[in-house]
Amino acid sequence: MWKGRFAQETSRLVQAYGESVSFDWRLFAHDIRGSIAHSKGLLKAGILTVEEQSAIEAGLLAIRAEIEHGDFEFKQELEDVHMNIEAELTRRIGPAGAKLHTARSRNDQVATDVRLYTRDAVDTVSARLRDLQRALIEAAERAGQAVVPGYTHLQRGQPVLFAHHLLAYVEMLERDAARMADARRRIDVMPLGSGALAGSTILIDRDYVASQLGFSSVTQNSMDAVSDRDFAVEVVFAIALCGVHLSRLSEDLILWCSAEFGFVTLSDAHTTGSSLMPQKKNPDVAELTRGKSGRLVGNLMALLTLLKGLPMTYNRDMQEDKEPLFDSLDTILAALEVFAEMIAGMEVNAARTRAATSDPMLLATDLADYLVKHGVPFRQAHEVIGKLVAHSIAESVAFADIPLATYREFSPAFEADLFDCLNLETALAARQAVGAPSPANVAAQIARWKEALSA
């Protein structure tokens, strides 16, 4: 629209190469909000009359309504969302529109818009994290006293309540939510008023503009303000880590609904069939999420690599920040939403979990602990039980079926009460330390989470 020093039109190839409106159009509502606040700052600074500011505000609101209704045509030759909206405003209201960009650059404008957008999106991510936590807690409640083997190295280790396993993910998501909240504090700083890089000779009350936009504070260095994308990196990192957590939950779910484990059944609404094998019921949502977590990590790498080595201040490279940021936000929002729904429809197969936990080997550590309580040093007890495990395998005899006399050949510390610790209920109830999976502890954790998440 404005030519200035340029005698030639921008090449079509350069227009197509440099445009960002095809993906930054989604900033429109935040761009308009930022522009209205800026126009109020200009009014207060005496640059705009009341009539001009009103015309700008009304014009911008009309444009916003048209975009929301899909009636607005974004033009590639106007490059980005900012120029598209400003050009259309000026076309509609004339000279007042041409005053809007006073004491502002697209550099502080885009930094402000992206912060406003990201702040809103992070609030939605936080709400969805809470929804998934609630779904997991409800699933933990539905699981009741179902016991599963806890695994290390994907080998059966010790028994745990299935609820305890689910609550492990609630803890991870809690840290994700805390990281979102922490990142939000640094998003919530307004760069507007930093101009291209050195502010402006026209003085605007930045605190007043910030209060219009709900920012808690304003940036303190104009050069940093226009070139800082730390907030985007932090959010994309927090999302990547959340994605990694979801990928682990995905893998657990994929294992659990295999015929080999069979611990859970996902609803028909959250699984898909095979075009060839009629019997298949595939956990695609979990597989897709495991896959998408790779994209989330990639987006983080893309952003960090984009910023590395950039000289001060704004560089056009920074236009490349948006696609990874938007993609990470879109991806995690969708994943959290579908996971909450899928977990709500998940059923535990108590028969299969019971069969898996009937493996007496799960209580080998409890037998070692028994010896410790009878004065045997742990390393020695570990050795004794190791030999008993070998005996049990070689003779195909379960711990409960080995006679006391045989036990005493392995260690004279064994007494008749050793058989008490081969009971699953007793074994679980004994795990009473803070954080351990006794049924009483798990019930208390469920109550704690319900209380915390009801707020």
In whole angstroms, how close is the CB of 38 to ligand ARG at the nearest point? 15
**Closer residue to ligand ARG in complex, CB, 107/293:** 107
Q: Are 114 and 80 in contact (CB under 8 A)?
A: no
Catalytic residue among 69, 153, 275, 396: 153
**Closer residue to ligand ARG in complex, CB, 319/411:** 319
Catalytic residue among 216, 217, 274, 358: 274
In whole angstroms, how close is the CB of 196 to ligand ARG at the nearest point? 7
In whole angstroms, how close is the CB of 35 to ligand ARG at the nearest point? 14
**Closer residue to ligand ARG in complex, CB, 101/130:** 101
**Closer residue to ligand ARG in complex, CB, 107/438:** 107
**Closer residue to ligand ARG in complex, CB, 195/437:** 195
Q: Are 21 and 81 in contact (CB under 8 A)?
A: yes
**Closer residue to ligand ARG in complex, CB, 20/445:** 20
- Residues at the contact surface with ligand ARG, assessed by CB under 6 A: 20, 24, 80, 106-107, 110, 316, 318-319
**Closer residue to ligand ARG in complex, CB, 101/179:** 101
Q: How far apart are CA 74 and CA 405, in angstroms?
A: 86
Mention every residue, 6+ apart, whose C-beta is less than 8 A from residue 105: 194, 195, 196, 197, 226
Q: How far apart are CA 100 and CA 89, in angstroms?
A: 9
Sign of CA dihedral 450, 173, 330, 246: negative
Among 118, 117, 114, 130, smallest CA distance to 176 is for 130
Read off the amino acid at residue 296. Answer: L
In whole angstroms, how close is the CB of 80 to ligand ARG at the nearest point? 4
The answer to whether residue 164 is catalytic is no
Please identify every residue annotated as catalytic: 153, 274
